[in-house]
Amino acid sequence: VSDQSHDALVPLGWGDRVQALYDEIATATTRPGRVVRVARAACFVATREGETLASADPLPVVGDWVAVDTTADRVVVLGVVTRWSALIRQDPSGDRAQVLAANVDLVLVTAPADRPSAARVERESLIAWESGTRPVIVVTKTDLDRSAYADELATRLVGVDVVSTSATTGDGVAEVAALLQPCHTAVLLGPSGAGKSTLANALLGEDAFATAAVRGVDARGRHTTTSRQLVPVPTGGVLIDTPGVRSLGLWGGGQGIDRTFADIAELATRCRFADCRHEHEPGCAVIAAVTAGDLDPDRLASFRKLERELAWERRRVDPVARDAERRRRKAIHKEQRRRYRDLGRDR
């Protein structure tokens, strides 16, 4: 084992975990590196010899660990290390998956206090769980808004950690820094203008990223940050800054929904029917909780919306799920017809 204290890849997250995965794809002429930024047809890879522009086909994504060959006259990515996690959304332009970042261990869901939206935070948290990582909610700009947004989110999003920050006053920045573990990678996710790059700069202790005031409606779609970028954090850990994305369509199997909505999942175990949709079913413990004032109806609405979206995605990609849904609908129709007949008989 080599002395890692002088290994230039360690601040980028290199360690035993990556070494083992890299060994699976290494060849005599390749060396390891991490993709720090992706350009149109090439990517910037940090290696022990410094940062280099490498061509690759297909292009890896930011956060990928790769094997590059530097022996030819141009640097080429020869292989991509098996990802342990991937932040995925549905490509807004079509029915494809788009990987936003690879090999992340933590998603910092930035939630600006001046533009509260619990539903958005729930969607982003779900994407984090679906990606194989976990979310921590970082409320930003708390100097602008004295409301109890962080408390609201902590209450509503049961079991998720919430950190209050202000890059202006410096509040909470050390708490976020403490979340960034050596050899672990965190990614900033959140709407444009949330203060992601500002927070990144505060963590880095320098203005590495450009920041700008939130733009007016006439300049919609323009983001200050235009590409995803990976940087080592001096106090430990690795950070990926991303441009705020407007559309965050879900893409995934739906394993994350019970973690995002742990309170509803727990209640659902007490519903009379195992396949209860918590809509109009008799003996529904979830609806009972709303009626009793124990569950926020907005949270249930958010759950239903995301659940429907996931179910739709599942049916689209999975013919077995599609057939199951068809059978379920048929059974419901049959049941409704039967009830109708019975009603007629009673009259």
Ligand X SMILES: Nc1nc2c(ncn2[C@@H]2O[C@H](COP(=O)(O)OP(=O)(O)OP(=O)(O)O)[C@@H](O)[C@H]2O)c(=O)[nH]1
Which of 131, 166, 201, 225: binder of Mg ion (CB under 5 A)? 225
Closer to Mg ion by CB, 25 or 208: give it.
208
Interaction between residue 187 and Zn ion (CB under 5 A): no
Which of 110, 197, 201, 229: binder of Mg ion (CB under 5 A)? 197
Q: Which does 260 bind (CB under 5 to 8 A by kind): ligand X, Mg ion, Zn ion, none?
A: none
Q: Which does 256 bind (CB under 5 to 8 A by kind): Mg ion, Zn ion, ligand X, none?
A: none
- What residue spans of 256-317 are helical by DSSP H? 257-260, 262-268, 285-291, 297-317
Which amino acid appears at position 181 of this protein?
A: Q
| Least separation in angstroms between CB 242 and ligand X | 7
Entry field: residues in the chain: 347
* Binding-residue total with ligand X (CB under 6 A): 24
Composition of the chain by helix, strand, coil, percent to 5: 35, 20, 45
* CA separation, residue 223 to residues 57, 150, 153, 246 (Å): 27, 25, 26, 10
Residue 337, class by beta-carbon neighbours within 10 Å (0-12 exposed, 13-18 middle, 19+ buried)?
A: exposed
Nearest to 211 by CA among 138, 144, 140, 117: 140
Binding mask 172-201 for ligand X (x = CB under 6 A): ------------------x-xxxxxxx---
Q: Which does 193 bind (CB under 5 to 8 A by kind): ligand X, Zn ion, Mg ion, none?
A: ligand X
Going by their DSSP bridges, the two strands 238-241 and 229-232 should be labelled as: antiparallel
Supply φ then ψ for residue 98, to 5 degrees: -120, 120
Q: Which does 144 bind (CB under 5 to 8 A by kind): ligand X, Mg ion, Zn ion, none?
A: ligand X
The residue range among 216-224, 229-237, 297-305, 308-316 that interacts with Mg ion, by the rule CB under 5 A, is 216-224
CB 267 within 8 A of CB 252: no
Interaction between residue 224 and ligand X (CB under 6 A): yes
Binding mask 266-305 for Zn ion (x = CB under 5 A): -----x----x-x-----x-x-------------------
Closer to Mg ion by CB, 30 or 192: give it.
192
The angle at the Cα of 241, spanning 237 to 242, to the nearest 5 degrees, equals: 145
Q: Which residues bind ligand X (CB under 6 A)?
A: 140-141, 143-144, 166-168, 190, 192-198, 211-214, 223-225, 243-244
